[in-house]
Amino acid sequence: MLRTSGLTKEFGGLTAVDTVDFALEENELCSLIGPNGAGKTTFFNLLTGVLTPTAGSVEVRDDGGWRDITSATPYETAALGLHRSYQITNVFPTSTVLENVRVAAQAASGDAMKFWRNARAFDEHIEEAHRILERVGLAEDAHTTAESLSHGAKRQLEVAVALAGDPDVLLMDEPNAGVSSESVDQIIDLIEDVATDHAVLLVEHNMDIVMNVSDRVVVLNQGEVIAEGEPQAVRNDPTVQQAYLGGYEAGSLDGENGGESPAGDSASDPEEGTA
């Protein structure tokens, strides 16, 4: 569904992503992990057109073939079925939950800029929005303003907005960031549900979640892929343990490093303060 070849991004003398070859298969849930400054957010930005690569290519599956989207804009990548949720929630705060999802569904259909719209088509967008809200667990909050939601519910809404665009591939950037412990299980269930009919690339700081939900794990370190495979194999890889996981044990949410999440990104990324 998505692949890169030799993908590279340099910022002056810093190579944030270094000749990465990557492929995401249909209905696969792949987690991308790595230590602080590994290049994870930069990689996401390259995939979605936020950044232009220094070298290499990005392609998506399109009508049985592959389409090069290396130079595509974020709008163009979204139109081709590659959608993203962000570390920081990205919704219309004063609109209702339903309106957030309805607008996304309408935009994906191509009706967003049509002043004279068929009323039946508008009703269809509303119905689709209700279906999506039911799926993500926000049906009872349909008429609540987005700004009134808990942080965990806002994360659910952001996934709903992404789903409204009918993506083939969903990139989820730390969906549990800032979520209360009581809401984590809901987010995990949502991730697993979305992965039943979408290809999902997940960046997640919680190693218990990564090890439990992933079909495959890819590890970045200093912009390079240093390991990939099934979660248990990656966990036991000495290179990964040295570079990243350290003393991780099942049940630990934070790992080592003085309580800092080992997958949390630092300000070493030139873009958005994370990598």
Quote the DSSP letter at residue 242.
Answer: I
Tens digit of each residue's pLDDT (9 = 90 or more) over 197-220: 999 999 988 888 899 999 999 999
Whether residue 24 contacts residue 216, with contact meaning beta carbons closer than 8 Å, is answered with no
Residues of the chain with pLDDT under 50: 113, 115-116, 119, 247, 250-268, 271-275
Domain at 1-81+168-275, CATH class: alpha beta
Give the Cα-Cα-Cα angle 6, 71, 274 (nearest 5 degrees). Answer: 70
**CA dist., res. 131 & res. 166, Å (int):** 13
**CA dist., res. 186 & res. 170, Å (int):** 18
Contacts of 153 (CB under 8 A, 6+ apart): 138, 141, 183
Domain segments of the chain as ranges? 1-81+168-275, 93-166
How much is the CA Rg of the chain, to the nearest whole Å?
Answer: 19
Burial of 142 (0-12, 13-18, 19+ CB in 10 A): middle
